[in-house]
Chains A and B, each alone.
Chain A
Amino acid sequence: MSDAPGTRSEQGNTKTRQYATFFVSDLFFGIEVLNVQEVLRYQEMTRVPRADNVIEGLINLRGQIVTAFDMRSRLQLGERETGETPMNVVVRTEDGPVSLLVDEIGDVIEVSEENFERPPETITELARETLEGVYKLDDRLLLVLATDRVLQLN
């Protein structure tokens, strides 16, 4: 992911970027659209016993085995309500595709770089670790997810 403000000037005069957005709990997140491979409905999942509980399971993505991350538990946003099925946001990583389980899919939106801001110092360490920054939209804040750091487990 190259969301760092420094790399952005390459974008040319428009100075806008496109983000695929989704909701986890009541938070509005975005991942740069080029890094998103696809978005899927809930897939049948095979649990991986003994794995970190952030890892929800494995899904069969057209013959490819993809590891699914539960964003709620990764971001410590509490349990998903029973009956709600998460959606898969499949992102590309160096280690092949990884699916992020989110509550709801939003639109692909185009944002202007002027509205970007680093996360404030006051947020928790977890938030700082997983966030690249924030776009100030008219009606809400778009949190830019640092995918590579999100997918790093200790």
Chain B
Amino acid sequence: MIHKTFPRGGGEIPHRKEGSERKAIQAVPAPSIVVIPLHQHIGAPCVPVVQAGDKVKIGQRIGEAKQFVCAPVHASVSGEVIAVEERPLLTGKKVLSVVIRNDGQDELVKMEAGDPAKMSPQAIRQVVKDAGIVGMGGAGFPTHIKVTPPKPVEVIIINGAECEPYLTCDHRLLLEQAEEMVGGLLAIMKATGATQGVIGIEVNKPDAIERVEEVIKEHKELSVAALKVKYPQGAEKQLIKAILGTEVPSGGLPCDACCCVFNVHTAIAVYDALTSGKPSYERVVTVSGGSVVDPRNLLVRIGTPIQTLLDFCGGLLGQPAALVGGGPMTGPPVVDLLGPVVKNLSGVLALSHEEAAFDENRPCIRCARCVDACPMGLTPNLLGEYSDKGLYDKADKLNVNDCIECALCSYVCPSKRALVTWIIKGKAGLAAQRAKEKVS
């Protein structure tokens, strides 16, 4: 059997999923205090609709979306709001957050539930919006916008590639909640008017492929794409190329290629919101890495401190070299252990000194491994150099903005150069320079 993949670049990186891939999802008891940031997505922050002293229930809306690119935020425990103030995310960045003391009653408020098959596309979109669902694979883009494509969409792709090492939450969800995922996919297809659904799964998860194929047997419009294990197979553009053979135009959106991509967990969240009126207030997080005593997949309330997750997994083995929020290729470093779990946090990793590696910025020997590896066909050695030196126009000429920031260039570099870090800075620098040029 030929496994689908994108043709250009990419690379083999270690999987390191053994620690948690066979461990069923386990719920972490809600902590005594949760800190729920009002900005957990791409776009504008929410506006708080509660204040200190208010009583809230699980699922109650505590942050309102006042703008289009925004998603509302809900309480994840029942109890009393003790503060609405700036609190650090795990990256250390401070964001206006609602702090709730858990009363342990677990009182729920639910949205109206229904049968998605009987709902109108408009009604489905409204529920997705009210539930505050955002892309749970990592991007955190508000899902209600994606289910309202500006042009016709034919195919909905569910991203079950999970190409980042260590992470296994999507794998476990595919095994344990395949029906819900398919239900979410069908609802998304209805909302967008798409006629075809494809679930892309890397072949290092054969049990997940088997399970999903079993569930979609009755659905002629659905199929599973067995994907070659190659990083970054789960990057949106590479996934589309692998499954449909088409490319998203530079600077465009997936709908420009007649498709739209949703993460496994996002599809399940859509299903839960529609069928049981459950807004986005909890998610599954993989806690793994060589410095974690007992790696697991945890169902966690949004707002739970990272520290609680690590403690639940038996704590740390000595000093880890790095703590990461998300996957090791693209996740940011954890700066604050009290930083809360947010809607798009797929993993918490504690990497040992044997596993983690850092920039050394030795001289480039022009071996071009980064050029060979770049899944976008860019020249990261040059982009990195130009970006680092502030030569943004030169970087622009080499299409720096087409970089998807998968970090494979930095990974393969034998001189351990901070290529992707420079390129990300270069993109920001270029944007700032263009804005300045517009003003003057």
Question: Do the two chains bind?
Answer: no
Contact surface of A with B, Cβ cutoff 8 Å: none
